[in-house]
Amino acid sequence: MELWRGRRLWIERRTVDLPSGPKEYVVVHPGGAVAVLPVDGDEVVLIRQYRAAVGGWVLEAPAGTLEPGEEPAACAARELIEEARVAAEELVPLGTILTTPGFSDEVIHLFLGRGITPCTAYPPDEDEQIEVERVPVGEVRAMALDGRIADAKTLCLVLRALVAPAPGP
């Protein structure tokens, strides 16, 4: 049963038959999303964005929600330009993550951005307050370990792209 519906998000109450009997759950459906770790030589392009839900600024990778029917790579390319003011020559898929499977079905598609160049083709979203920062790769690893980066999608990107990267060309 639908409890609430907004522009991009809806919430439902769902009954599931489990071995122990029927259980009722509330499930949040935020839609799909992407996140990109743009690496430019020995620097990573990160954004510091005001997040009202936590009441402060968060250092994170550029990210955003998929439009209906939009391919994840196209969304990743668009969000990089909108938020970090850069374009990537290559977007390397790094898999997906489930953000909060205890109450949400959100899936984020992760990408590594390579071949970074400045770009201003898209205006930033009206509701976003963003500062772009270039951080040395080694410092990003240290920030992920010591808590200066606390955003989960960014931590997953750092792990997959900078700590244990897949073999590549």
- Check residue 118 and give its pLDDT: 95
For the question of residue 131 being annotated catalytic, the response is: no
pLDDT digits (tens, 9 = 90+) for 33-88: 999 999 999 999 999 999 999 999 999 999 999 999 999 999 999 999 999 999 99
Residue 77 sits in the same domain as residue 13:
no
- Check residue 163 and give its pLDDT: 87
Residue 9 sits in the same domain as residue 60:
no
- Asked whether residue 94 is domain-assigned, the answer is yes
Residue 22 sits in the same domain as residue 47:
no
- Asked whether residue 14 is domain-assigned, the answer is yes
Tokens coding 9: 């998000």
Residue 20 sits in the same domain as residue 102:
no
pLDDT digits (tens, 9 = 90+) for 111-140: 999 999 999 776 766 777 899 999 999 999
Residue 17 sits in the same domain as residue 84:
no
Q: For residues 161 and 61, give the distance between their C-alpha atoms in angstroms, rounded to a whole number.
A: 12
3-22 average pLDDT score: 96
Kindly report the backbone phi and psi dihedral angles of residue 8, in degrees, each rounded to the nearest multiple of 5, phi listed first: -120, -5
Residue 79 sits in the same domain as residue 110:
yes
Residue 55 sits in the same domain as residue 81:
yes
In the set 2, 24, 89, 126, the catalytic residue is 126
pTM beyond 0.85: yes
CATH of the domain at 41: 3.90.79.10
- Asked whether residue 168 is domain-assigned, the answer is no
Residue 83 sits in the same domain as residue 157:
yes
SS3 letters across the chain: CEEEECCCCEEEEEEEEECCEEEEEEEEECCCEEEEEEEECCEEEEEEEEECCCCEEEEECCEEECCCCCCHHHHHHHHHHHHHCEEEEEEEEEEEEECCCCCECCEEEEEEEEEEEECCCCCCCCCCCEEEEEEEHHHHHHHHHHCCCCCHHHHHHHHHHHHCCCCCC
Residue 81 sits in the same domain as residue 9:
no
Identify the domain containing residue 2 by its residue range.
Answer: 1-30
The structural domain count of the chain equals 2
Residue 25 sits in the same domain as residue 47:
no
Identify the residue with better confidence: 169 or 130: 130
pLDDT digits (tens, 9 = 90+) for 139-164: 999 999 999 999 999 999 999 999 87
- Asked whether residue 63 is domain-assigned, the answer is yes
- Asked whether residue 43 is domain-assigned, the answer is yes
Q: Tokens 């270039």 appear where?
A: 134
Residue 24 sits in the same domain as residue 37:
no
Res. 169: pLDDT tops 50? no
Residue 17 sits in the same domain as residue 58:
no
Residue 165: pLDDT band by 50, 70, 90 thresholds? Answer: low
